[in-house]
Amino acid sequence: MVYYLVMIFPLKELIEYDKNMYEITSAASRRSYQLSMIEDPEVEENDGKMVSLAARQVFTKVIEFRIDTE
């Protein structure tokens, strides 16, 4: 029998993150919304946990974010 360990939330990256926590939280929240709207198949692979998937994508730089200053 083979077991796979899937990181639900990127705790190591969260602990080591030394920039603006509000910005990255906002980015993960926005990405979670995007994932729900586009019905990304990766959500199903993550047992429907959009927030965890979005946070992992943001913290591991699978997706990039930027803050508009305008």
**Residue 22, domain member (yes or no):** yes
Residue 26 lies in a domain: yes
Q: Say if CB 17 and CB 27 are below 8 A apart.
A: no
Q: The whole model's pTM is what? A: 0.72
Segment 1-10, tens digit of pLDDT: 554 445 566 6
The C-alpha atoms of residue 64 and residue 48 are separated, in whole angstroms, by: 22
Spell out, as residue ranges, where the chain has pLDDT lower than 50.
Answer: 3-5
Question: Per the domain annotation, does 20 fall within a domain?
Answer: yes
| Cα angle, residue 48 at apex, residues 57 and 36 outer, rounded to 5° | 70
Does residue 7 belong to any structural domain of this protein? Answer: no
Which structure tokens are listed for 53? 């998937």
Place of tokens 């360990």: 5
Q: How many domains is the chain partitioned into structurally?
A: 1
**Domain limits at 29?**
14-59
- Residue 8 pLDDT: 62
Q: Is residue 6 part of a domain?
A: no
CA distance 26 to 70: 17
In the prediction, which pLDDT does 1 show? 55
Does residue 5 lie in a domain region? Answer: no
Task: Report if residue 69 sits inside a domain.
Answer: no
Residue 30 lies in a domain: yes
